[in-house]
């Protein structure tokens, strides 16, 4: 039996983006995971090398160094010691597969490199023995986030370790970093709750079948599973819930751990880039439209056409609503129009209440702007029987005036709506895979996190920003 390392060491082997792509192609061709075996120095100078699984049997001294996209990576234990317990990087380069290297697609072959030991030593925190990752960290409320090298977290019992491919920037992350809300996170922490990537390792009690599967880490990091809310499909209301990127570290990092029961599988038809915004912006607005019970030909006013709003417009249309989009930025309104909004209102130049009333009034108003004023306007734009769905979360525990007489006589409902369940997210993914929704997002690097926050706050992002790794 080959010796195996603890799962937590799975991150000892990583791969470049090109190598990940090549592995995915190989897996598709083989229809199952392949295996890499690393057992000597290479004759052509690329050190060390890899063999395809199956061609070479595992030797007595081979041990599992890690799992990459569901492919196991083994190394000779003596070689591993002799190399100084290195971290290996699987890469591809041009060339034909020699005797010792595996073909990686068109004119490419796999090679492995030892991660530069100087680079590892230069990182004083954590000790070089640990695996490190880049993360954007809130060190104090209102301060710019810091890009830090931190240990790759180990998946605890019931958890999975996810290698991030895409991680969306939700306005909630900005509220978190500013300490805007009555219940605050505790710096230092890593924000982010729209994290997508393959499971790299699993903790105790979690099936290894999950390894290699692409999952989404949502805001609901875990819930108790036994309370009346959890039992009735309302785990989003669980009072023992943990929130990713808020009460526990989140997805603005190369790796994140998450509760295996809370992550949601991402279907093949949804790219990681699109899946990221769907994981909060999508599921939240989908749920908001669901709880509003919109029926065809009702008018749905969407206040705030940002990350959430651009998807809200689409879900409101999917259920047959006429959509009024309200924002302060002409570009956002242009986008809403392109996505099918029937009416657009610039609240900077026009009174949205008046404009919506002119169009017959709103039966449902979904408020996604982080501004109390928008909530007041949304309330006043409602018809009798109307539903105000509160989703945006302005700073300072803002409140609005809800006149009792009008609310009672008008049969108005005021509904708070918080994210959505795992089942809601699975539905959101299914709709997207079927081509029913469009994600509008721009790619950013994690190092651009502070500029990205400014873009969102300044209303300059088209819709969502997504960090890609
Ligand atoms: N309830 C939930 O489950 C939940 C989930 C995710 C996000 N949120 C909250 O929703 C809000 C929006 O998040 P986002 O990521 O879409 O933010 P965003 O910044 O991408 O979008 C907000 C939009 O509101 C617009 N806006 C600002 N003031 C306005 C006003 N007075 N009238 C009309 N439009 C206005 C902005 O121009 C922007 O387009 C945040 O407060 C966030 O914390 C809530
Ligand atoms: Zn969010
Ligand atoms: Zn519960």
Ligand nearest to the backbone CA of 284: 1
Neighbours of ion ligand 2 (CB under 5 A): 170, 172, 280
pLDDT above 80: residue 140: yes
**Rounded to the nearest whole angstrom, what is the distance from the C-alpha of residue 156 to the centroid of ligand 1?**
34
Comparing 108-112, 162-166, 258-262, which segment has the lowest mean pLDDT? 108-112
pLDDT, greater one: 247 or 25: 247
Looking at residue 390, what is its pLDDT? 98
Which stretch of DSSP H or E encloses residue 81? Answer: helix 77-82
**Rounded to the nearest whole angstrom, what is the distance from the C-alpha of residue 50 to the centroid of ligand 1?**
49
Which of 392, 400, 459, 464 for mutating ligand 1's site (highest number of atoms within 8 Å of CB)?
Answer: 392
At residue 151 the predicted structure's pLDDT band, cuts being 50, 70 and 90, is: very high
Cα–Cα distance between 459 and 468 in angstroms, integer?
21
Which stretch of DSSP H or E encloses residue 424? Answer: helix 422-433
Whose C-alpha lies nearest to ligand 1, atom 2? 418
C-alpha to C-alpha distances, 67 to 10, 30, 33, 105, 264, nearest whole angstrom: 6, 17, 10, 20, 20
Percent of the chain clearing pLDDT 70 (strictly above): 87
Looking at residue 110, what is its pLDDT? 81
Domains annotated for the chain, with CATH where assigned, are 3-116 (2.60.300), 132-266+439-468 (3.90.180.10), 281-416 (3.40.50.720)
Neighbours of 358 (CB within 10 A): 10
Q: What are the pLDDT digits (tens) for 38-54? A: 765 544 444 455 655 55
Cα–Cα distance between 179 and 399 in angstroms, integer?
18
Q: What are the pLDDT digits (tens) for 108-130? A: 888 777 765 444 333 223 333 46
Looking at residue 274, what is its pLDDT? 98
């Amino acid at each position: 039996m080959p010796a195996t390392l603890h799962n937590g060491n799975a991150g000892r082997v990583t791969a470049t983006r090109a190598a990940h792509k090549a592995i995915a192609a190989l897996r598709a061709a083989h229809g199952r995971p392949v295996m890499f075996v690393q057992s000597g120095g290479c004759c052509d100078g690329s050190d060390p090398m890899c063999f395809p699984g199956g061609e070479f049997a595992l030797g007595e001294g081979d041990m599992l160094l890690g799992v990459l996209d569901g492919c196991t990576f083994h190394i000779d234990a003596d070689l591993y010691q002799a190399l100084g317990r290195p971290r290996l990087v699987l890469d591809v380069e041009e060339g034909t597969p020699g005797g010792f290297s595996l073909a990686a697609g068109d004119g490419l072959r796999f090679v492995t490199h030892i991660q530069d030991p100087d680079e590892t030593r230069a990182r004083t925190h954590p000790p070089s023995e640990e695996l490190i990752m880049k993360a954007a960290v809130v060190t104090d409320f209102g301060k710019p986030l810091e890009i830090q090298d931190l240990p790759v977290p180990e998946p605890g019992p019931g958890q999975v370790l996810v290698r991030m491919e895409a991680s969306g920037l939700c306005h909630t992350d900005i509220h978190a970093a500013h300490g805007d809300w009555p219940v605050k996170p505790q710096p230092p922490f890593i924000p982010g709750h729209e994290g997508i990537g393959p499971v790299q390792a699993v903790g105790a009690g979690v099936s290894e079948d999950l390894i290699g599967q692409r999952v989404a880490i949502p805001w609901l990091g875990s819930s108790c599973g036994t309370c009346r809310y959890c039992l009735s499909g309302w785990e989003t209301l669980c009072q023992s819930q943990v929130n990713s990127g808020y009460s526990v570290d989140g997805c603005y990092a190369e790796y994140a751990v998450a509760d295996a029961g809370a992550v949601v599988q991402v279907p093949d038809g949804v790219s990681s880039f699109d899946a990221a915004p769907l994981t909060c912006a999508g599921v939240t607005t989908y749920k908001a439209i669901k709880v509003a019970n919109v029926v065809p030909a009702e008018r749905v006013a969407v206040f705030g056409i940002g990350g959430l709003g651009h998807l809200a417009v689409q879900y409101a249309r999917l259920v047959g609503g006429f959509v009024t989009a309200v924002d302060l930025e002409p570009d956002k309104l242009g986008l809403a129009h392109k996505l099918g909004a029937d009416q657009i209102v610039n609240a900077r130049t026009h009174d949205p209440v008046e404009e919506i009333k002119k169009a017959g009034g709103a039966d449902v108003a979904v408020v996604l702007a982080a501004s109390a004023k928008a909530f007041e306007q949304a309330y006043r734009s409602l018809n009798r029987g109307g539903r105000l769905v509160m989703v945006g979360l302005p700073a300072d525990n803002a409140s609005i005036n809800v006149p009792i007489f009008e609310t009672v006589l008008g049969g108005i409902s005021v509904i708070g709506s918080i994210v959505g369940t795992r089942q809601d997210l699975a539905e959101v993914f299914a709709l997207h895979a079927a081509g029913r929704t469009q994600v509008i997002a721009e790619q950013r690097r994690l190092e651009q996190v502070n500029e990205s926050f400014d873009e969102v706050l300044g209303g300059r992002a088209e819709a969502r920003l997504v960090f890609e790794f």
